[in-house]
């Protein structure tokens, strides 16, 4: 592996080639050149509103519907079941609030099942609904962050209106046995004479896993464009035909009355292009990033053998590595690595501005003194072996520096 004793004795002169090392792809991936190329006409000359009743408007509408057909083919669904949104957060909010409110209005019930380790877009949407009388049940996870299909099935009641379980965790990268979970939930619901809608946050998996909604057994699926090489501000919600739904954004009736607002044609076209490429390249992406991740994992273990590696040992995203270090604060470690030319994160980018232990790690049983010292490394195929080795080389000094600072400020015990 990379971090040999010879490396340890070498002076650190900065990242290879003087180029900063990006290890935060779980937060945002680089825009694919092909996506940008597909977007350019609609950012420059083909700028008409797709609802306009003239030739330029029809051209924009044709591009929009072509992208919808492409996305539908990837999801193994019909174009009518694809809703374009502003991103993963909106797609999740629409799914959870829209389905729950529609069924509450119909008198079906107000019970929602999700897990302790969901993205805050899921948890905060569920908490929002509690203000309107909904009951939210949080399923526990094991030490690796996995949900038991049996526990999910046991939580289903006659008044359950939605089950929402993420495909893969955005912090530790653990992949759920989603098809097994949905099958167990379906059987439990059928025994009660019900069909309970099932939603999955699939934001982290488009580069590595199939998104076939029938094979997964889900009724709703959320995606975010910038996680797989599309532009920011774009997202997808799959909504199976027949699932009760109350639109959250009203106005001009776009997206078949389910999400009003003038469509982001260039963004949608770029996102659909990136999604197609990401799904076509799943095998090569996984092979490349898993090899880099294993090299990086070996380096971290060699450099800091006391580090705790989090997530499932095998059922995990190939481009994700998450570790905890004792007696330091994760944000300080991120800053120390940033000063050394390495861009990483201490957790989910949406919440990393606040100093608090990860709810995901605490749910997995990670002690709080370790949970506050977390580091998330997201790998992209363009990363090189030399860059991986550099990270392992400078990590011990960064950890030592942060521990000394924490002790000096009396934030953490010696």
**Active site (annotated) includes residue 350:** yes
Torsion sign across C-alpha atoms 132, 257, 194, 220: negative
H or E element in which residue 54 lies: none
Residue recorded with tokens 């519907």? 65
Which of 304, 324, 350, 402 is the catalytic position? 350
> CA–CA distance from 105 to each of 99, 101, 114, 195, 375 (Å)?
10, 6, 21, 17, 43
The H-assigned helical ranges of 87-216 are: 88-105, 120-130, 149-155, 178-191, 213-216
- Distance, in Å, from the CA atom of 152 to the CA atom of 244, rounded to the nearest integer, reads 21
- Tell me, rounded to whole angstroms, the distance of Cα 210 from its chain centroid: 15
Distances in Å between the alpha carbon of 227 and those of 73, 213, 216, 253?
Answer: 19, 19, 20, 28
CB-CB contact of 12 with 396 (8 Å): no
Any bridge partners for residue 24, and if so which? 378
Phi, psi of 115 (to 5 degrees): -125, 165
132-169: burial string, b at 16+ Cβ within 10 Å, e else: eebebebbebeebbbbbbebbbebbbeebbbbbbbbbb
Instruction: Looking at 156-202, list the stretches that DSSP marks H as alpha helix, in order from N- to C-terminal side.
Output: 178-191
Task: Calculate the alpha carbon distances from 272 to 65, 119, 204 in Å.
Answer: 11, 24, 16
Enter the tokens of residue 202: 């699939």
Question: Would you please indicate which residues are annotated as catalytic (active-site) residues?
Answer: 350
């Amino acid at each position: 592996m990379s971090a040999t004793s010879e490396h340890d004795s070498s002076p650190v002169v900065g990242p290879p080639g003087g180029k900063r090392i990006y290890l935060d792809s779980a937060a945002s991936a680089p825009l694919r050149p092909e996506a940008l190329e597909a977007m350019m006409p609609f950012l420059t000359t083909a700028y008409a509103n797709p609802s306009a009743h003239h030739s330029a408007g029809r051209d924009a509408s044709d591009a929009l519907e072509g992208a919808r057909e492409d996305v539908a083919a990837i999801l193994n669904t019909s174009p009518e079941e694809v809703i374009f949104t502003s991103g993963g957060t909106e797609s999740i909010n629409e799914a959870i609030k829209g389905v729950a409110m529609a069924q509450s209005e119909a008198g079906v019930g107000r019970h929602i099942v999700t897990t302790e380790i969901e993205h805050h877009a899921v948890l905060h949407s569920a908490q929002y609904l509690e203000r309107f009388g909904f009951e939210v049940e949080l399923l526990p996870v094991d030490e690796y962050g996995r949900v038991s299909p049996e526990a999910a099935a046991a939580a289903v009641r006659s008044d359950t209106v939605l089950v929402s379980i993420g495909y893969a965790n955005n912090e530790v990268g653990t992949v759920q046995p989603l098809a097994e979970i949905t099958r167990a939930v379906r059987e439990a619901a059928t025994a009660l004479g019900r069909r309970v809608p099932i939603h999955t946050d699939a934001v982290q998996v488009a580069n590595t896993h199939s998104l076939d909604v029938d094979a997964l057994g889900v009724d709703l699926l959320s995606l975010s464009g910038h996680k797989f090489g599309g532009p920011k501000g774009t997202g997808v919600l799959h909504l199976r035909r027949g699932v009760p739904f109350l639109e959250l954004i009203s106005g001009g009736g776009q997206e078949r009355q389910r999400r009003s607002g003038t469509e982001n044609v260039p963004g949608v076209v770029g996102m659909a292009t990136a999604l197609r490429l990401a799904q076509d390249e799943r095998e090569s992406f996984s092979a490349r990033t898993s090899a880099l991740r294993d090299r990086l994992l070996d380096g971290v273990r060699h450099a800091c053998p006391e580090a705790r590696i989090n997530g499932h040992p095998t059922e995990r995203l190939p481009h994700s590595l998450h570790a905890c270090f004792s007696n330091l604060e994760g944000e300080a470690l991120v800053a120390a690595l940033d000063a050394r030319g390495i861009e990483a994160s201490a957790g989910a980018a949406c919440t990393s501005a606040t100093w608090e232990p990860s709810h995901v790690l605490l749910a997995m049983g990670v002690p709080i003194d370790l949970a506050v010292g977390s580091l998330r490394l997201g790998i992209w195929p363009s990363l090189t072996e030399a860059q991986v080795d550099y990270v392992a080389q400078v990590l011990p000094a960064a950890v030592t520096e942060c521990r000394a600072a924490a002790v000096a400020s009396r934030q953490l015990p010696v």
